[in-house]
Amino acid sequence: MSGWTAAAAALLLCGVAPAACGAATGPVRRRVPAQNLTTTLLSLVILLLAQGYGRPAYTDPALVLAVLGPAGTLLYVRLLADQLAAHPPRPRSLLAVTALSYTAVPAVVLPLCVATGPGRAMVKLLVIGVLLVLGSRVAARAVTAAVSAGHGRTGPAEGMSDG
């Protein structure tokens, strides 16, 4: 068992499993950021496994997940916007989740780039890393936007029902 596979197993156990628990239980305000964190960390696990098994083709699912994970989060934000606006997530915990993915992505991608060496494979790894960081940023901004839009919308609507 190589160090890369061991790192993937460790990240799976200590990163993906708690994030998945956060996405599986609790209120919607915690589930949505946790779901985004789960996809980001799982994509990193797939990258580590690709290096551990010595199969560059295994990075393709990581690339797909880096694109589709934030898309899924945006979907939840769009369709559960009223619940998110009613019980908005704490800005501090949202910031903590985003910061965690911002630190985890370079911590995994940069050693992989060093191990791969310069070339097309390294460019692909860097693209995946950039996509992952952008994805968490977009997801966090979408949650914040949904919360503020919900507040703007519920205010006048409540006033109208009172009148």
Partner 1 sequence: MADDLPLLLGLLLVAAAGTAAVLVRDPVRQSFLLSLFGLALALVFLLLQAPDVALSQLAVGSALTPLMVLLSVRKVRRKARSERREEHE
Binding residues vs partner 1 (CB under 8 A): 1, 5-6, 8-9, 12-13, 16-17, 20, 23-24, 28, 31, 35, 38-39, 42, 45-46, 49, 55, 57-58, 60-61, 64-65, 68-69, 71-72, 75-76, 79-80
| Closest CB to partner 1 among residues 8, 108 | 8
What count of other Cβ atoms lies within 10 Å of the Cβ of residue 88? 17
CB of 100: closest distance to partner 1 in angstroms? 18
| Closest CB to partner 1 among residues 28, 118 | 28
| Closest CB to partner 1 among residues 80, 113 | 80
Q: Which ranges of 15-119 would DSSP assign to H, the alpha helix? A: 17-24, 28-53, 59-79, 81-86, 91-116
| Closest CB to partner 1 among residues 54, 118 | 54
Distances (CA, A) of 74 to 33, 49, 108, 124, 137: 10, 27, 25, 24, 11
CB of 148: closest distance to partner 1 in angstroms? 22
Q: Which two tokens stand for residue 120?
A: 């097309």
CB of 87: closest distance to partner 1 in angstroms? 13
Q: Vertex 117, ends 112 and 123: CA angle to 5°?
A: 75
| Closest CB to partner 1 among residues 118, 161 | 161
**Are 23 and 34 spatial neighbours (Cβ–Cβ below 8 Å)?**
yes
CB of 13: closest distance to partner 1 in angstroms? 6
CB of 68: closest distance to partner 1 in angstroms? 5
**Are 44 and 77 spatial neighbours (Cβ–Cβ below 8 Å)?**
no
Q: 117: part of which helix (H) or strand (E)?
A: none
